């Protein structure tokens, strides 16, 4: 029996448009949760930052007053600078991870064991990393304190008790797991390096740094991009280490924006939701710069691929 045109017309609206609609159906759950848990709170934060609100009672609209106060707030300034230090120094995880992955990219007995040992710090919780480093830096019995004493150095108050050294100390602790993360990204990247290109370069006399710079690293570009993204995000999220190692101290010198926001809005003594939201908005703006860059660069890649 031939299929008549009449039958086709009778098919339902959904059936007819199935191919066009299905992708959107699959997207709905994701979009819904992203909107409720990400997009909506972003706008809510913007809104709250215009109010004076203790989180309990009535909110009072004060316009941009919270932002004006941020300008006079030295604790905010300190946090901002510390965020900058985190952003710049945390990127050291990328070359460090690359070095280790090059070193581990060999075929010798037990290399898997060495790889897992190097990867270990990324597996353990940030809390544990923070605690381990707190003991390492302890001003009386800490290994680090003893070690620098051997070469005649002393950091007054210990690393975590010294207002100048403290942020660098915490960043160093954060670099430990972050380097491991970058290392694993590069190790997978190195697997896909084209051996023929390496061979060709070798015939042309390239070796050492030149081989690395002109042949290997360009091929690792995707891995570098991901490493850059996760490191930037990691630097801006540096909350748990600060919370566990110093609670922002001594006297607030190791605070970053995320921790300062928590202190002002949500901690034991914090009842300034509006002010906290204003800090969050500033942090969001900083992130937005990177997010825009990431999106743009991914968009360029996609365009290139098509």
CB nearer to other proteins: pick between 237 and 247 = 247
Cα–Cα distance for residue pair 185/180, rounded to 1 Å: 9
**Shortest distance, position 52 Cβ to other proteins, whole Å:** 9
CB nearer to other proteins: pick between 121 and 161 = 161
CB nearer to other proteins: pick between 174 and 252 = 252
Binding site for other proteins (CB under 8 A): 54-57, 69, 72, 74, 138-140, 157-158, 160-161, 163, 246-247, 249-252, 263, 266-272
**Shortest distance, position 121 Cβ to other proteins, whole Å:** 23
For residues 15, 19, 20, 25, the Cα torsion angle rounded to the nearest 10 degrees is 90
Using DSSP's 3-state secondary structure scheme, residue 183 falls into helix
CB nearer to other proteins: pick between 96 and 131 = 131
**Shortest distance, position 167 Cβ to other proteins, whole Å:** 15
**Shortest distance, position 253 Cβ to other proteins, whole Å:** 9
Query: Beta-carbon neighbour count of residue 162 at 10 Å?
Result: 18
**Shortest distance, position 238 Cβ to other proteins, whole Å:** 19
**Shortest distance, position 138 Cβ to other proteins, whole Å:** 7
CB nearer to other proteins: pick between 239 and 250 = 250
Tokens describing residue 257: 């924006």
Helix (H) or strand (E) holding 244: helix 240-245
CB nearer to other proteins: pick between 145 and 231 = 145
CB 271 within 8 A of CB 294: no
Tokens describing residue 274: 């509006």
**Shortest distance, position 251 Cβ to other proteins, whole Å:** 4
Cα–Cα distance for residue pair 23/113, rounded to 1 Å: 43
Q: What share of the chain is helix, strand, coil (3-state, %, to 5)?
A: 75, 0, 25
Number of helical H runs and strand E runs in the chain: 17, 2
Tokens describing residue 66: 């919270």
**CA distances for 167 relative to 14, 47, 71, 78, 299, angstroms:** 58, 32, 22, 11, 35
CB nearer to other proteins: pick between 43 and 269 = 269
> C-alpha angle with apex 180: 113 to 86, nearest 5 degrees?
165
């Amino acid at each position: 029996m031939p299929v008549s045109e009449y039958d086709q017309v009778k098919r339902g609206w959904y059936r007819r448009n199935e191919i066009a609609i299905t992708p959107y159906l699959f997207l709905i759950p994701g979009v819904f949760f992203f909107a409720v848990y990400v997009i909506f709170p972003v706008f809510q934060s913007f809104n709250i930052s215009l109010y004076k609100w203790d989180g309990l009672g009535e909110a009072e609209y004060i316009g941009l007053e919270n932002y004006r106060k941020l300008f006079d707030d030295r604790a905010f300034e300190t946090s901002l600078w510390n965020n900058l230090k985190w952003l710049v120094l945390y990127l050291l995880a990328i070359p460090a991870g690359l070095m280790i992955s090059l070193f581990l990219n060999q075929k010798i007995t037990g290399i898997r064991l060495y790889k897992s040992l190097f990867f270990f710090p990324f597996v353990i919780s940030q809390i544990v990393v923070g605690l381990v480093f707190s003991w390492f830096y302890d001003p009386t019995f800490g290994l680090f304190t003893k070690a620098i004493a051997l070469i005649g150095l002393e950091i007054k108050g210990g690393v975590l008790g010294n207002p100048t050294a403290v942020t660098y100390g915490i960043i160093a602790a954060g670099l430990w797991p972050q380097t491991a993360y970058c290392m694993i990204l590069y190790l997978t990247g190195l697997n896909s390096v084209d051996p023929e290109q390496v061979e060709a370069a070798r015939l042309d006399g390239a070796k050492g740094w030149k081989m690395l710079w002109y042949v290997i690293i360009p091929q690792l570009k995707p891995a570098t991009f991901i490493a850059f993204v996760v490191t930037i995000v990691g630097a801006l999220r540096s909350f748990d280490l600060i919370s566990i190692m110093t609670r922002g101290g001594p006297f607030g010198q190791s605070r970053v924006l995320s921790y300062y926001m928590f202190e002002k809005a949500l901690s034991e003594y914090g009842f300034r939701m509006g002010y906290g939201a204003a800090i969050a908005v500033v942090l969001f703006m900083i992130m937005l710069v990177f997010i825009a860059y990431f999106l743009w660069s991914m968009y360029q890649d996609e365009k290139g691929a098509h």
